[in-house]
Structure 1
């Protein structure tokens, strides 16, 4: 069947392949390693990109009144904005995803979806998801509720937030 030389070649081939994979893994680890402060420290991968603040020439930024923008909000446009939320949230009542379902979220008590484990940070900032609370949270989730589990960076455009909230009012409301 097989002589010893053939078996030796097969075993040598497997050992050589394993060695190449181990060396490749080590090389990749060295090239892409991030610094860590020690055991138990959180390791954040990526590169920090510093962006210079834009000069305003001494002019104050114009603040937009959310109530005015919300009064003219378009739920149809909000449905398109909801595409950014679909990865983690469902609209069907009781169907939790990574985040809780958003069926009837406007004017719903914070932390009230059965079967979802909320972070204490959300329960501490508001009692009800009113329009203003949703606006603040959607603008900057981690700034509004420090310690929240929501990893989304937020919607900077006030019109997108207003349209999204108007759309969510139509879902189960």
Structure 2
């Protein structure tokens, strides 16, 4: 039932089908090409249209927006600052006791790292040379980005980005000596 002639016919049909597929692929590639014309030259491809893209401006020369913090402090609302204080309350207190962070009673115009008995980080102790007193400017910079202002501080708070919210918080702290 199964002889060499049957095997030869089956192999011929299989090889013929492969040959047909290869020839069809070659013919289709000749008729329908995608991309560059198939050559290996360095010719530039002409686009049907182009989209003009302006050159990116050099961002190193861009100055940050300067904030008039004195004007913000003049319009600061201590009641609104109490809402901001909720972010600080988990680590700091206003009753004279230290928690994870030092108490913030009278922090405005107080010397930096000056609470006796509190174990300040080395970065905060070193920061005394830069800003010896927690004045409005020093506080607003620190509250905006604690780790950016005092690199290596133990304070893990991300900061308050809104300048008016920072001014309100400082007004609240100032009202609670």
CA distance in 1, matches of 2:149, 2:132: 14
90, 96, 99: which one aligns with 1:97: 99
Aligned to 2:159: 154
Aligned to 1:134: 139
SS in 2 for 1:84: coil
Aligned to 2:85: 82
The two structures have a TM-score, normalised by structure 2, of: 0.61
The 1:120–1:63 alpha-carbon spacing in structure 2 relative to 1, beyond 3 Å, is same
The two structures have a TM-score, normalised by structure 1, of: 0.62
Aligned to 1:144: 149
1:121 Cα offset (Å): 1.4
CA distance in 1, matches of 2:78, 2:84: 10
Q: Calculate the aligned-residue CA RMSD, in Å.
A: 2.1
Q: Does 1:170 align with 2:161?
A: no
The 1:143–1:60 alpha-carbon spacing in structure 2 relative to 1, beyond 3 Å, is closer
User: Mind listing any 5+ residue stretches in structure 1 that lack a counterpart?
Assistant: 1-57
Any runs of at least 4 consecutive aligned residues in structure 1 with deviations exceeding 3 A, and if so which?
A: 58-63
Number of residue pairs matched by the alignment = 116
Q: Does 1:111 align with 2:113?
A: yes
115, 119, 122: which one aligns with 1:120: 122
The 1:151–1:170 alpha-carbon spacing in structure 2 relative to 1, beyond 3 Å, is same
1:90 Cα offset (Å): 0.4
User: Mind listing any 5+ residue stretches in structure 2 that lack a counterpart?
Assistant: 1-58
CA distance in 1, matches of 2:63, 2:114: 40
